Amino acid sequence: MMADMQSFYASVEKACRPETAGKPVVVAGDPKIRSGIVLAACPIAKRYGVTTAERLGEALNKCADLIVVRPRMQTYIDVSMQITRILERYADAVEPFSIDEQFCELTGSLHLHGGDAKETARRMQREILEKTGVYARVGISDNKVLAKMACDQFAKKNAAGVYVLRKAEVEEKLWKVPVQGMFGVGSRMMRHLNRMGIYTIGDLARTPVETLKRKWGINGEVLWRIAHGIDDSPVTPGTHEGAQQAIGHGMTLPRDYAEARDIETVLLELSEEVCRRCRFRGVMGRVLSVGCTGAGFEFGFSRQTTLLMPTQVTNHVYRAAKELFRVHWDGRPVRQVSIALGGLVRDDTYQLEIDDERETYRALERATDAIKARFGVSSLVRAVSAGLAGQAYGRAAKIGGHYK
């Protein structure tokens, strides 16, 4: 099964605010700091034409009575984990796919619930709704890919919010669906496929797999397999806990930064956050990536360099990041900046160098990490972060770019 929570953020807010019942509600950021985007719209708001990811001003033009709620990310995380615990009472395994979508494996335990998948899904729906106020739609099939498409293409569009798509029905029911409705096909891939004369999932399924592989390699075969409803991947609860290839952090700036010293302040803050996360995970990185996006999206770059030795020391990463940025930045104002460390290795064993500063810095930064863990990440910041360009205090109040 794929359980998808309807208008998740907005549903959580409406459940917390009984006075908004029957009224249009959206969850959106603050337009004053460039986050005035609709993150979630309740079904009533959607009837006015309000859509996710549109600008808040456009949404208000469509619906003058719109109730706008600022996001509370920690609350949504807590409710998502509560829903996971509910699903775990029914399923052999639960794999979070996103904050509002979860795969459930019931093959071995369905008989404990009466053996009827649709009735079990309805019980899951009722319990989630009663305990969280969130309405779940459930797609049911033979594997994860088909369960996802059963949910997106059918369960979300019927009154019951539950749909069973059997593997034998793929050709009859899925192949007529436009190709952009297939799991794994975004707007860019849709355009590529359309140029090849592929407009439906059936068109893709009938395309020789070798043709797709010649164009996209192994990803071409993946597309072909999904179109045929083939997916061997198991429901894996710890799927997001595996070894990371890189640790990165980025942010959209509250205004366009045109001065090098202001951008470097943010680079330092990002370096510190990335290195802190590396220390938390017990890794060091050797491949440094720095990226930015221009003020009007008219330019941008992402460049990387290999450091002489792996590190998790903020000052080392910052110096390299600053140099890499200066080499590739043409002086135009920027609105987004990011840093990432790749080539990760464990930090418990490494080759010492002559005049190696890493141990001194590691001892210092372990102390600062301990202070931040106890008193909060904003309890100890660098002096430059107290200036107008600094964002450390603002970021400390957020999760994923949105307020906790």
Amino acid making up residue 15? A
Give the contacts of 355 (CB within 8 A, at least 6 positions apart): none
Q: What are the tens digits of pLDDT across the range 368-388?
A: 989 988 888 888 888 888 888
196-201-203-204 Cα dihedral, nearest 10 degrees = 60
Which residue, 134, 135, 171, 172, is CA-closest to 155? 135
Would you kindly state where each structural domain of the chain is located, as residue ranges? 2-73, 171-227, 243-403
Q: What are the tens digits of pLDDT across the range 106-149?
A: 999 999 988 899 999 999 999 999 999 999 999 999 999 999 99
Alpha-carbon distance of 340 to 353, in angstroms, equals 24
pLDDT average, residue stretch 290-313: 89
What sections of 196-288 are H helices per DSSP?
201-206, 209-216, 218-227, 260-281
CATH number of 2-73: 3.40.1170.60
Give the contacts of 243 (CB within 8 A, at least 6 positions apart): 344
Q: What is the mean pLDDT of the chain?
A: 90
Encoded tokens for 53? 């990811």
pLDDT of residue 47: 95
Work out the pLDDT band at 89, boundaries 50, 70, 90.
Answer: very high
3-state secondary structure of 62: helix
Per the CB < 8 A criterion, the answer to whether 291 and 70 are in contact is: no
pLDDT of residue 245: 83
Q: Which fold has domain 243-403?
A: Dna Ligase; domain 1 (3.30.1490)
| Residue 4 is assigned to a ligand binding site | yes
Which residue, 303, 366, 354, 370, is CA-closest to 330? 303
Q: Name the CATH superfamily, with its identifier, for domain 171-227.
A: 5' to 3' exonuclease, C-terminal subdomain (1.10.150.20)
| Residue 65 is assigned to a ligand binding site | no
Encoded tokens for 276? 């802190």
pLDDT average, residue stretch 306-313: 91
Which residue, 172, 307, 171, is CA-closest to 227? 171
Which residue, 244, 341, 344, 347, is CA-closest to 288? 341
Encoded tokens for 227? 């179109």
Q: Count how many residues are written for the chain.
A: 404
Where in the sequence numbering do the catalytic residues fall? 101
pLDDT at 266 over 70: yes
Alpha-carbon distance of 37 to 187, in angstroms, equals 20
DSSP letters, 280-339, are: HHTEEEEEEEEEEEETTSS-EEEEEEEEEEEE--HHHHHHHHHHHHHHH--S--EEEEEE
Q: What are the tens digits of pLDDT across the range 190-220?
A: 999 999 999 999 999 999 999 999 999 999 9
The CA radius of gyration of the chain, in Å to the nearest whole number, is 24
- CATH fold match for the domains 171-227 and 243-403: no
Identify the helix (H) or strand (E) that includes residue 87.
Answer: helix 73-88
pLDDT of residue 61: 92
pLDDT average, residue stretch 259-287: 92
